[in-house]
Structure 1
Amino acid sequence: MNFQVGKKYYGFNLKEEYEIKEIQSIARIFTHEKSGAKLLHLENNDDNKVFSVGFRTPPPNSTGVPHIIEHSVLSGSRKYRTKEPFMDMVKGSLQTFINAITFSDKTLYPVASRNDKDFFNLMDVYLDAVFYPRIYEEPKIFMQEGWHYEIFNKEDPIVYKGVVYNEMKGAYSSPETILDEEISKSLYPDTCYKYSSGGNPDVIPELTYEEFLDFHKRFYHPSNSYIYVYGNGNIEKYLEHIDKDYLSNFNKKDIDSHIDAQKPFQKRKEILAYYPILKDEDDKNRSYLSLNFVLGENTNPETYLMTDILRLMLIELEGAPIKKALLQDNIGEDVFSINVGGIQPGFGIVAKNTSSNKKEKFENIVFDTLKKLVEKGIDKKLIEASINIVEYNLREAGNFPTKGLLYNIQSMDSWLYDGSPTAHLQYEDTINKLRKNIDTGYFEKFIEERLIKNPHSSMVIVEPKKGLQEEKDRALKEKLAKFKKSLSDKEIEDLIKQNKELKKMQLSDDTPEAKATIPKLSLSDVDKKAEIIPQEIIKFKDITLLSHNIFTSKVSYVDFYFDTSVVEENLIPYISLLAGILGKIDTQVRDYSELENDIYIHTGGINFGANIYIENDNNEIFYPKFIVSGKAVGNNINKMMELINEILTQSKIEDTNRIKELIQQIKSRIEMSIFNMGNIFTSLRVNSYFSPSMKYAEKLKGLDYYWFISHIIEEFDNNSQDILDNLNKVYNDIFNANNLIISFTGDKEDLDLTKKSLPIVINNLDKENLTSKNFDFIEQKLNEGILSSANVQYVSKGYNFKKLGYEYSGNMNVLATILNGDYLHNRIRAQGGAYGAGITIDRTGHLTTYSYRDPNLKESIDAYDNMGEYIRNLDIDESELSNYIIGTISRLDPAMTPHGKGQLATSRYISHITQEDIQKTRDEVLNTKLENIKAYASLLEDTMKENYLCVLGNEYKIKENKDLFNKLVKLKK
């Protein structure tokens, strides 16, 4: 329909309407007159529709109340009476995104779906959750999601439990979380940003139920809301529904959620903080040094983009001058940037794995480098490359498949602070202005004003402290013991009763009446046919070229898949190491800084990686590949091929200092990811005990690879020549035209341009026949407990059911949905207090369980072992089963970027998975019966009885359960 500015539509007054060319959308800004709610509508042709309702939620302290509210409002509401409508929708929706996100000053509740009926259902569940949650009638929600005193027997000690409490214990196991918090405290000491909105586990138990409710009453009102609707949906229908069922029930209200900006400092502040390491860990060169600056206001489009450009230009790119200067002077093993704040962007320069006695030298190098840049001028190519990266990210929405969600977050970066909601979506003029200012001294002046002469800054030092976690654990035990001692027998009995009632609630099924309140799709709403990704197989100069004719906004994506089965077993980790250094070292043509600048001036990036592709239905056969990926527009495809050829044929693997720098950085980045992705590391590790393909993958990207990197860094000065020789051998073996597969994603016109340019690479590759090496895999039940300073666990069990005589069927995906959404969620997350748990089952026979940020260990293993019994006794009706089937289909049909689709089609080609196989799996999912599911009880029991186990977690927790393991291994060997 045609909207008119100034007119009212279902209680919403249309304030503005205009086109945003950058995202091919019409923007409409509404206000709801009665309630004061604000609404941004972005209309376009995207069928992946996004809805979000958000609130300004400045934290009053570090109890994590915004985060606990975010979890809790999704645990039942006025209309939706089950314990967890959020999980019920996850189980039975065609959603392409569903989550809730707590930021430092706001909370967002976004959902997305391509299905109109599903989208409307999701929108309604979220609106009811935020405005009419069940938290006021059910205190046990706060106990489960936030925190509570847990005790079941009078003799037992009291402990803290709660999902958010344990999630944040896991987060605070990472020194980077502590660094991030301390930087915010240092830069914004008089604002809400000095607090942890997620919650500091030391402070979370100070939050009372009354304060929790008061926070919701105060901030979760339409007058403090930001509603967002994106895509090709029926906006009239949405406006009518939002007004009639929700906003019309509220009157406009003055809500003091104003976010104050920090007053500028007169001089730099300094903060010293600590993070825990194990008593017998080496604490030498384990500190973090950070110089941090407040850059201005986020509502200013130039400042907003300059924050990212500065990060790339000075620190993140390999040729970035501050990074180069700090690494060359051995100030740290790694240098990276950190962004904090909200209304005022904070920019941090971090040196990791350094010593606090290098503080002055660190500071001097940073400022001396900045002054030289101002006096002599910044390399214009470096500026241009940085701007291009930012522009590509904006145009591709960060390569995130549900791009409407990214636009929502970008809109809030201005809207929340009373700026225009589309200020950062209309970026072209700002990008053009910045590009025109490359030669004017604009960037040098920005650095001089915002960094060199800016007293609103801080120095943060975070040092390792041996035994700190044990001290905290001991103090907590004493505190809780003292608390228990202060209680009367009656009070202890009341606590036990509370916990038993909570457990009963967690383990009880929702009533049929409650289940009936959850909106459902029917199987008729599901597309019976699996999506066909276009793929043409072309023989191009004796090489297989896979073409995927998909709309990509004129960006051409080209991937080269080189066969790495020619690499000897002992050199497998060098494949990943090679991927980590290529494009970051000199070539025979230019140094690595010039190379990187040219890459980003002419292309959207050239990346290197290693992966394995497993034969359809057979994990014993796999195809390891080294992948070179590039993206470019139009005539720049030719330049991209020249650069790829230069890297693949003329890289100089000889500069020991540079390669040592890169290996140190690789080690640092893996360390940063371990506690955030502990479930992935433990799942891969446990699969490597029994699976040849996963053993190979473990050497490429698992803990084996981390230990390999750690070892060669320790030995580098003595063995540098051997390391370089091994890298050169792998480099010379891999880039061969034999068995090469090239994948192209884009339109026909750009395919023709690509085919003309491909000989630039192909003609220079080796053609020599190389022999695939035998990989001698020995199945070993290592069953490791991996000891760390983390104060939570990541618990994984698994085995290959095909080894036990079982066959794969598509309905196993429904089995996984049932176990994930009900049994494991209830036992390990809701009852056990872990942040997450799940099971994966794949067509090659791998069945793997995992938990994430889990306070328990043995209890989670017991839960895995009892899955078979749960499935054997499963009793669900046809409607519930249909729900699980629909939820499974949503996992089979995830949102994907165009390039992601091309990569998926290529992976299926390599693994010999046909469209018929994909359709067969879908048919088996859609035709799943209860008896199919119940028949898997024995399979679950038999795989768990094999007892292949890996746990990464707290040293003392693992040692308490040492009888479960064959081997205890230190994470940091």
Structure 2
Amino acid sequence: MDLKRQKTEQAAAAHGFVIDTRRELPQIGAVLWQMHFAKNGARLLWLERGEENKTFAAAFKTLPSDDTGVFHILEHSLLCGSRKYPVSKPFVEMIKSSLQTFMNAFTFPDKTMYPVSSRNQKDFLNLMDVYLDAVLHPLCLEREEIFRQEGWHYELDSPEGELSCNGVVYNEMKGMYASPDTLIDSALNRALFPDNCYQFQSGGDPACIPALTYEEYRAQYRKYYHPSGAWFLLDGEMDIEPVLEKIGQALSGFEPQQEDHPIPLQSPVHPDETRLPYETGEEDIAKKTILAKGWVYGRYDEPEKDLACQALCEMLCGSNEAPLKKALLERGLAENVEFSKVDGVQQPFAVLVVRNAAGDQEQAIWDTVQSVLEKLADGGLDHRRLEAVISRMEFRYREKETGGFPQGLVNCMKMLESCLYGGDPAQNLCLSGAFLRLREGIEGGYFEQFIRENFLENRHCARLALVPSRELGERKRKEEAERLRRIKGRWSSQETEQVIRGLAALRTFQSTPDRPEDLASLPVLALADIEEETPDIPRQVTEEAGVTALYHPLETEGIAHLVWYFSAEDLTEEELHLLSFLQTLLGQTRTAHLDVLELTAALDGELGRFQTSADVFAQRGETEKCKPCFTVHVSALEEKLEEAKELTKEVLLDTDFSDLACLRARLRQLRLSLEQHVLMQGDSYASLRIAAGCSAKGAAREALRGISMLDWLREMDSRFEERGRELAARLKELCQRLFVRRRAVLSVTGQIPDEEIAGLASSLPEGEAPAEAASWFRRRQVREGILVPAPVGFAGKGGHLAQCGAGYGGAMAVAARILSYGYLWNTVRVKGGAYGTRLAITPGGDVAFTSFRDPSAAVSLAAFDKAGASLRELCAGGPELVPYIISAIAASEPLLTARQKGMQAAEDYMEQVTEQMRREDRRQILATTPEDLEKVSRLLDEICEKGGSCIVGGQEILAAAGDTLPCRRNL
């Protein structure tokens, strides 16, 4: 027996755990330990693997029985103080004093999860300690104010005043329900699962949230939050003895509880079609109906079936040439079609969404869907394409790119998605066998049979129609106001006074600072606990065939990651719109030698990644110049580099834009995507509008992905008949102009021979270098309101450090953490009810205050103005800055994969950021003093005075801003 295994077994026994199984998982290079706590049966899983980032999660099965969002509110509330740490926001206090690489909580349809991760063992133990006490001994069971703050409460300042409703989760879900996608999710779940917990909206329906009482909230916690029904999940390389000791101590005070809360399997149902209105700001709603259909296709313990459904979703609707999507688009029955699966639940289901259809063509749409599926089930599937889709899926599985989530967190989620229902926790971690069986099933008719059984003959399905309405939003607002008037009218004078006193008590609770001794109880790191600087990312710069080549020789497990940066610095503002549109076409449009299906099959079969984007680079502090670039990301197995080179060349140089119907369809889909994104991420668009008035980089980014890009798409769509051919010609000319060696920088990450890099660099024509950089940036202050069909808003205020004659310094990173998780959190989120708020100061000089899903966006704008004064007040009190400094260091050194490290090094090169500059930033952060912060506070005052402001929100949200936003426009 090896020493490590022996140590784990001894630690488990010493701290009350019984080891149930230990399994080697060679597919992923890990060992899976399964244990339970002897006293009460709490279950523990540890995926032991060679990963320095350590992850912990506490998870509970939480089954909603109504739409009040009780478990969503509990998720928020449990992180608002506990028995051992009786502070108002330990979650925030740890964010601003920890080296955490991830810290959050999630409410799922049938479970709630509380994960943290850190590369530092001491920090990891601190985070675990706070989270364990939070979930097992929360203060919210004793302090109703926490429930009222995070969930919902009435607001009434005087007997004559107007009654309103507020609360963080309440406002979050009002924002969510402004999206048709939330309506689709909610309605389909209700139709498909009428007999179990999935029929309810676990996040909460804002119309139902105010029905939740404090008593029921407490009862639901006591029913579901007990260690006997909990899972404690670990991932990574760690000293396991202190980890088990900490968990064991937390669990030792609980006796066993027998109730297991099984979820009954839903028997097949086939309800009548559901019809619901949704709000839109469009004037012409003739073709704005949204149709959806869901099919329950399997169970949690059928990973092969789950992968098959994912492959078919891509096959049927993954591009405009995919058979189901193509049939609906070519007949003019829709503007966009999406097919996806909803998994991570006991019974996963597939969802087809057909967007922007005419109301009188619903039957034609469903007839077309039926006929296409029949044809495919009868042997019409392209098996070569199917093989390619599965290859791309398997590449992603092996590559383990997890976006913004640590791999350890994803592993914990995958384990939970099986073991929560009694399944094997390793099931979704080890999928090589499932991929092999899928490949074997291609020629055997497995996928055709899947279509017939699960989409054509499956009686467990439901249909939905969302009907557009221009009046719905205003009608709902009036109904809500009338409902609140009726509620207030039914109250006696004593009840009215009770509500007024309750609000006063809540505000007192929110305004009362934590006691110093309580704050001191939180476990924190010292500066000595911060590890040495991470090693520099290796970078070799050479000139290959006229191309600047950046080589990052990192271990990538046999995968080559290539990024091409093509300079677009001489493009006009209008050409940047064209560039942004181009990124949605390449790889999705036919070429001189391949039709779309052949192209996508080649890209998926030979490459692991082919993605394009438009980025903007500028030197630090530069406001008058920038370098927009068209960026091409390619990942492939090292032995597939030749195929990667040829396919990249085919797409960049030989894409055929002559199919005008294809161009128009893609243009409309991009427009629709941006419209929905503004509705859900309005803070990003507010920030883009403000930055566009401050620097060339800000203006270029707004032109590429902001409101002005949406304006261009709408204009181009409206004039497509007369300008379509011109658009196609301009796209072709742009490709010929851009994709040449004299505009290119090539970044390569992996273990690649020099001659391979030279071959990649020489694959493109030499071409012409960029002409003189375009001069189109017009400095202008933005004070703007953008009207969207939503009951909440997004506020932004900011500018650029250059407006104050200042440059970036490390103390600004510390100031941003202090204000984001101090003054702004307390003022805008806790008291104001916004779902989120932050201050961001980038090394490039951009400064942005934002709020997210905010019921009082105009009030938040005024609050931003006082941030500088708040920082000065803090500095005058002689603050302890070490926790903020540690937090700022953590934010500046995020967890990166090898591919991401290569990208960071390349982007640093593009912006002329050196390792010496990064080290100086770090040194300044570590040396931050109150005097430095006081200087930053004055800069923030000046930014708020000289900078711009923008609110994205509904009519009432904008009306409250009055004359502070003189420019108004309807999205």
TM-score, L = length of structure 1: 0.97
Q: In structure 1, what is the equivalent of residue 811 of structure 2?
A: 811
1:276-295 alignment, distance < 5 Å: 276-278=279-281, 281-295=283-297
SS of residue in 2 equivalent to 1:29? strand
- CA shift at 1:945, angstroms? 1.2
Gaps of 5+ in 1: none
Alpha-carbon distance in structure 2 between the residues aligned to 1:281 and 1:962? 25
Structure 2 partner of 1:354: 357
Does residue 1:12 correspond to 2:14, yes or no? no
Tell me, yes or no, if structure 1 residue 494 matches structure 2 residue 532. no
Are the aligned partners of 2:569 and 2:628 in contact in 1 as well (CA < 8 Å)?
A: yes
1:396 to 396, 399, 411: 399
Q: Deviations over 1:79-137 (max 9, x none)?
A: 11110100000101000000000011111101010000000011111111001000122
Aligned-residue offset at 1:756: 5.6
Deviation string, structure 1 residues 376-431 (Cα, Å, up to 9, x no partner): 24111221122122212222334335101111111122111111111111111111
Aligned counterparts of 1:271 and 1:858: Cα–Cα separation in 2? 37
Cα distance, 1:74 vs structure 2: 0.3
Structure 2 CA distance for aligned equivalents of residues 88 and 880 of structure 1: 13
- What residue is the counterpart of 1:337 in the other structure? 339
Alignment of 1:12-91 (within 5 A): 12-91=17-96
> Per-residue deviation at 1:875?
4.5
For 1:290 and 1:327, the matched residues in 2 are separated by 16
Secondary structure in structure 1 of the residue aligned to 2:714? helix
Q: Which letter maps to 1:958?
A: L
Give the match for residue 387 of structure 1: 390
Which of residues 651, 657, 669 in structure 2 aligns to 1:647?
A: 651
Which residue in 1 is equivalent to 2:917? Answer: 917
1:829 is matched by which residue type in structure 2? R
- Choose 871-880 or 961-970, whichever is displaced more: 871-880
Corresponding position of 1:115: 120
Contact 2:402–2:410 under 8 Å retained in 1: no
Name which of 627, 632, 637 aligns with 1:628: 632
In the TM superposition, residue 147 of structure 1 has moved relative to its aligned partner by: 0.2
Aligned residue number for residue 94 of structure 1:
99
Residue 263 of structure 2 aligns to which amino acid in structure 1?
I
Output the amino acid matched with 1:924: Q
Separation of aligned partners in 1, 2:57 and 2:510: 28
User: Could you tell me how far 1:11 is from its partner in structure 2?
Assistant: 2.0
SS at match of 2:916: helix
Which has the higher mean CA deviation after the structures are superposed, 798-807 or 892-901? 798-807
Aligned partner of 2:327 in structure 1 is: 325
Residues 642 and 951 of structure 1: CA distance in aligned 2, closer, same or farther (over 3 Å): same
Q: Distance in 1 between matches of 2:42 and 2:933?
A: 46
Tell me the TM-score normalised to structure 2 length.
Answer: 0.97
Aligned equivalent of 1:130, options 132, 135, 143: 135
- Identify the match of residue 547 of structure 2 among 543, 550, 557: 543
Q: Quote the residue 2:884 is aligned against.
A: 884
| Distance change >3 Å, CA 608–CA 457, structure 1 → 2 | same
Distance in 1 (CA, whole Å) between partners of 2:662 and 2:798 is 40
Partner in structure 1 of residue 966 of structure 2: 966
Q: Match for residue 677 of structure 2?
A: 673
Deviations for 1:323-344, whole angstroms, at most 9, x for unmatched residues? 1212122221111124336211
The one-letter amino acid of 2:795's match is V
Q: How does 1:585-624 map to 2 (within 5 A)?
A: 585-624=589-628
Question: Which stretch of the first structure deviates more once superposed, 870-879 or 161-170?
Answer: 870-879
Counterpart secondary structure, 1:615: coil
| Structure-1 separation of matches of 2:503 and 2:880 | 29
Deviations 1:917-938 (A, max 9, x none): 1011100000001121122222
Query: What's the CA shift for 1:843?
Result: 2.5
Q: Whole-Å Cα distance in 1 between the matches of residues 75 and 899 of structure 2? A: 33
Alpha-carbon separation, structure 1, partners of 2:157 and 2:306: 52
Distance 1:626 1:485 in 2: 60
In structure 1, the residue corresponding to 2:802 is in which secondary structure?
helix
Note if contact 1:530-1:922 (Cα within 8 Å) is conserved in structure 2.
no
Deviates more, 1:197-206 or 1:794-803: 794-803
- Distance in 2 of aligned mates of 1:233 and 1:527: 16
- Offset at 1:348? 0.9
- Stretch moving more, 617-626 or 869-878: 869-878
Aligned to 1:484: 488
* Contact 1:794–1:952, Cα closer than 8 Å, also in 2: yes
* Counterpart for residue 188 of structure 1: 193
Question: Quick check: 338-347 or 582-591, which moved more?
Answer: 338-347
Per the alignment, do residues 464 and 753 of structure 1 end up closer, same or farther by CA in structure 2, a change over 3 Å counting? farther
Q: Are the aligned partners of 2:279 and 2:468 in contact in 1 as well (CA < 8 Å)?
A: yes
Structure 2: distance between partners of 1:399 and 1:488: 55
Separation in 2 of the partners of 1:751 and 1:838? 45
CA contact under 8 A between 1:679 and 1:851: conserved in structure 2?
yes
Contact 2:858/2:957 (8 A) holds in 1: no
Deviation at 1:810, TM superposition (A): 1.0
Deviation at 1:826, TM superposition (A): 0.5
CA distance in 2: counterparts of 1:884 and 1:69, whole angstroms? 27
Residue number in structure 1 paired with 2:829: 829
Change (3 A) 1:373 1:757: farther
Please tell me the residue identity of whatever aligns with 1:736.
Answer: V
Q: Distance in 1 between matches of 2:538 and 2:414?
A: 32
AA at the equivalent of 2:303: P
Q: How many residues align?
A: 964
Choose from 703, 717, 720 the match for 1:716: 720
Counterpart CA distance in 1 for 2:757 and 2:947 is 51
Q: Which amino acid aligns with 2:656?
A: K
Q: 2:259 aligns with which of 231, 245, 255?
A: 255
CA contact (8 A) 2:621 2:802 kept: no
CA, structure 1 residues 393+879, in 2 after alignment: closer, same or farther (shift >3 Å)?
farther
- Deviation for aligned residue 1:487: 2.2
Contact 1:48 1:231 in 2 (8 A): yes
Alignment check: 8 A CA contact 1:62 1:196 kept: yes
- State the AA in 1 paired with 2:150: E
> What one-letter code is carried by the residue in structure 1 that aligns with 2:744?
L
Percent sequence identity over aligned pairs: 33
Q: Which residue of 2 aligns with 1:213?
A: 218
| 3-state SS of 1:936 partner | helix
In the aligned structure 2, how far is the partner of 1:793 from the partner of 1:531? 42
Is the 8 Å Cα contact of residues 79 and 91 (structure 2) preserved in structure 1?
Answer: yes
**Inter-partner Cα distance in structure 1 for 2:327 and 2:81:** 54
With 142-151 and 429-438 compared, the bigger mean Cα shift is at 429-438
The Cα of 1:668 is off from its aligned counterpart by 2.0
1:318 is displaced (CA, Å) by 4.5
Moved more, 490-499 or 405-414: 490-499
Alignment of 1:287-326 (within 5 A): 287-326=289-328
Residues 908, 5 of structure 1: alpha-carbon distance in 2 compared, 3 angstrom cutoff: closer
Alignment of 1:523-922 (within 5 A): 523-529=527-533, 531-747=535-751, 750-752=752-754, 754-755=756-757, 757-759=759-761, 762-875=762-875, 880-922=880-922
Shift of 1:807: 3.0
Q: CA deviation at 1:567?
A: 2.0
Q: Indicate if the aligned counterparts of 2:565 and 2:744 stay in contact, CA closer than 8 A.
A: yes
Q: How many angstroms apart in 2 are the aligned matches of 1:877 and 1:299?
A: 57
Q: Once the 2 structures are TM-superposed, how far is the Cα of residue 771 of structure 1 from its aligned partner?
A: 0.8
CA contact (8 A) 2:418 2:427 kept: yes
Distance in 2 of aligned mates of 1:864 and 1:659? 43
Give RMSD over aligned pairs.
1.7
Contact 2:689 2:782 in 1 (8 A): no
Letter in 1 for 2:395: Y
User: 1:871 corresponds to which letter in structure 2?
Assistant: L
Note the C-alpha offset of 1:691.
1.8
Q: 1:551 deviation in Å?
A: 1.6
Question: CA separation of 1:338/1:437 partners in 2, compared to 1, >3 Å: closer, same or farther?
Answer: closer
1:58, distance to aligned residue in structure 2 (A):
1.1
Q: CA deviation at 1:251?
A: 1.7
The residue aligned with 1:951 is 951
